[in-house]
Amino acid sequence: MTCRCGKWVLTWLAWGLISLMAACSPSPSAGPPSKVLKASPTVSMTPEWVQREPSPVPAETLNLSLDPQRGPTSPPPPKEGCRFVEGGRISGMVTYRGKPVADGVLVIAIFTGGPTTHTATRHGRYSLKLLAARCADGLHWISFRLVAGTYQEYVFPRQRALRWDIALFERPRTYKEVAQESSVVTPAHCPLVLGRVRGRVTVRGRPVPDGTEVLAVVGAGHGPLNQTARVREGWYEVSSVGNCEGFMEVALWVKGQVFRVQPTGADERFDLSLP
């Protein structure tokens, strides 16, 4: 009986060892791990022109039709030759139970597409700059969500001077009170900052033809922030936007190639070299 059991155990161990070796051996039909999403053409830059190298990215990583505040949208095609500008101001009183709030209550404007600005109340009043796109057919204001304490409201500007009073029914905390509780330092004022991104566009070292289209997608890619520019004498130029914390990322689409660039200043140069 002992002998038979010993043979059975040895047989079981042998089959287990064979199975383990088979599992560890590479399969002849298995190739290397898929890198389709990481694969992208190499960008060749002209060193004397480039401050930072834009990196091509898969087009499918950009969301051009989803607004997290409003849900799925179908934005109109971007207008050509538009530039971001300050479109005036929104200002007013902030009250709590009919009386002006204390100094330091934050009033925030979150523009469609992501740009954000805020300021702190003083003597119960606030004032924020509006964001607009100046195009050939005039000024187009960008809508935003106005936030103060528990108050939230969408605003669709139609003029440069906008009066908007805010009535609160819960006592708002000041930015100093919030900082003490959360140890997060928030500046009293964080204004919008506007700039531009420009550079040369070449194909195999030669300038692309005049009129070549460059689509600029700012941030997440929502309609109001998208721009279309035309190359002139080998150059393109588009607008950028940010705030006190930095500029938003810009994705540039040229002839089927996509380049992400991250501006760090108001006047940035990125040359694009196409294969």
Question: Is 60 exceeded by the pLDDT of residue 183?
Answer: yes
The pLDDT score that the predictor gives to residue 137 is 86
Question: Is 60 exceeded by the pLDDT of residue 56?
Answer: no
Q: Express each pLDDT in 97-127 by its tens digit.
A: 999 999 999 999 999 988 999 999 999 999 9
Give the 3-state secondary structure percentages of the chain, helix then strand then coil, rounded to 5: 15, 45, 45
Take residue 274 and report the two structure tokens written for it. Answer: 């196409």
Identify the residue whose tokens are 């523009």: 111
Question: Is 90 exceeded by the pLDDT of residue 200?
Answer: yes
The pLDDT score that the predictor gives to residue 225 is 85
Q: Express each pLDDT in 204-219 by its tens digit.
A: 889 999 999 999 989 8
- Could you tell me the pTM of the whole model? 0.69
At 214 the three-state DSSP class reads strand
Structural domains of the chain sorted by starting position, each given as residue range(s) with its CATH number in brackets: 55-78+193-274 (2.60.40.10), 83-182 (2.60.40.10)
Question: Which stretch of 20-24, 64-68, 124-128 has the lowest confidence by average pLDDT?
Answer: 64-68
Question: Is 50 exceeded by the pLDDT of residue 3?
Answer: no
- pLDDT classification of 222: cutoffs 50, 70, 90: low
The pLDDT score that the predictor gives to residue 61 is 32
Beta strands in 76-223 (DSSP E): 83-96, 99-100, 106-111, 116-120, 125-135, 138-141, 144-148, 151-155, 161-163, 166-168, 193-203, 206-207, 213-218
pLDDT (average), residues 216-223:
80
At 230 the three-state DSSP class reads strand
- pLDDT classification of 197: cutoffs 50, 70, 90: very high
For residues 271 and 170, give the distance between their C-alpha atoms in angstroms, rounded to a whole number.
Answer: 52
Q: Which residues pair with 118 in a beta bridge?
A: 108, 190
Burial of 226 (0-12, 13-18, 19+ CB in 10 A): buried
